[in-house]
Amino acid sequence: MTDHWDAIVIGAGAAGLLASARLAERGQRTLLVEKNRKPGVKILISGGTRCNLTHHCDARGIIAAFGSAGNFLHSPLAALGPRELVELFHAEGVPTKIEAYGKIFPSSDRALDVVNALVRRLHRCGAELALGEAVQGIEPTGDGFRVVTELRTLNAAKVLVTTGGKSYPGCGTTGDGYRWLAQLGHTIRPPRPALVPLTTDQEWVKSLAGITIPDAMVRVVDPRLLGTPAKGKRRALPPGVLIERRGAVLFAHFGLTGPAILDVSRAITSSPNPRDLRLLIDFVPDTTPGELDERLRQATVSDGKKLVIGVLPEVVPRRLLEYLFTHAEVPHDRRLSELSKLERARLIEQFKGAPVIANGSRGFEKAEVTAGGVSLDEVDSRTMQSKLVPNLYLAGEILDFDGYIGGYNFQAAFSTGWLAAESM
Ligand X SMILES: Cc1cc2nc3c(=O)[nH]c(=O)nc-3n(C[C@H](O)[C@H](O)[C@H](O)COP(=O)(O)OP(=O)(O)OC[C@H]3O[C@@H](n4cnc5c(N)ncnc54)[C@H](O)[C@@H]3O)c2cc1C
Residues that bind ligand X (CB under 6 A): 10-16, 33-36, 41-42, 45-47, 51-52, 134-135, 162-164, 167-168, 172-173, 176, 368-369, 396-397, 407-410, 413
DSSP for 49-91, please give it. Answer: HT---EESS-HHHHHHTTGGGGGGGHHHHHHS-HHHHHHHHHH
Closest-by-Cβ residue to ligand X is 13
Coil, strand or helix: which one is 16?
helix
State the first-to-last Cα distance of the chain, in angstroms, to the nearest integer.
25
Q: What residues contact 186, with CB distance under 8 A and at least 6 apart? A: 374, 375, 378, 386, 388, 389
Question: Could you tell me the smallest distance in angstroms from the CB atom of residue 255 to ligand X?
Answer: 18
| Alpha carbons 257 and 310: distance in angstroms, whole number | 28
The amino acid occupying position 139 is E
Paired sense of beta strands 354-356 and 278-282, if any:
antiparallel
Question: Could you tell me the smallest distance in angstroms from the CB atom of residue 395 to ligand X?
Answer: 7
Question: Could you tell me the smallest distance in angstroms from the CB atom of residue 403 to ligand X?
Answer: 7
Question: Could you tell me the smallest distance in angstroms from the CB atom of residue 201 to ligand X?
Answer: 26
Computed on alpha carbons and rounded to an integer, the radius of gyration of the chain in Å comes to 25
Question: Could you tell me the smallest distance in angstroms from the CB atom of residue 102 to ligand X?
Answer: 12
The amino acid occupying position 264 is V
Q: Which of 286, 364, 302, 368 has the alpha carbon at shortest distance from 336?
A: 302
Q: Which is nearer to ligand X, 170 or 238 (CB)?
A: 170
Q: Which is nearer to ligand X, 16 or 144 (CB)?
A: 16
Q: Which is nearer to ligand X, 30 or 409 (CB)?
A: 409
| Alpha carbons 245 and 234: distance in angstroms, whole number | 11
Question: Could you tell me the smallest distance in angstroms from the CB atom of residue 399 to ligand X?
Answer: 8
**Which uninterrupted H or E stretch holds 343?**
helix 341-353
| Alpha carbons 370 and 148: distance in angstroms, whole number | 25
Question: Could you tell me the smallest distance in angstroms from the CB atom of residue 396 to ligand X?
Answer: 2
| Alpha carbons 399 and 379: distance in angstroms, whole number | 9
Question: Could you tell me the smallest distance in angstroms from the CB atom of residue 294 to ligand X?
Answer: 41
Contact, 267 vs 279, CB < 8 A? no
| Alpha carbons 361 and 310: distance in angstroms, whole number | 35
Question: Could you tell me the smallest distance in angstroms from the CB atom of residue 245 to ligand X?
Answer: 16
| Alpha carbons 378 and 47: distance in angstroms, whole number | 31
Q: Which is nearer to ligand X, 312 or 371 (CB)?
A: 371
**Which uninterrupted H or E stretch holds 1?**
none
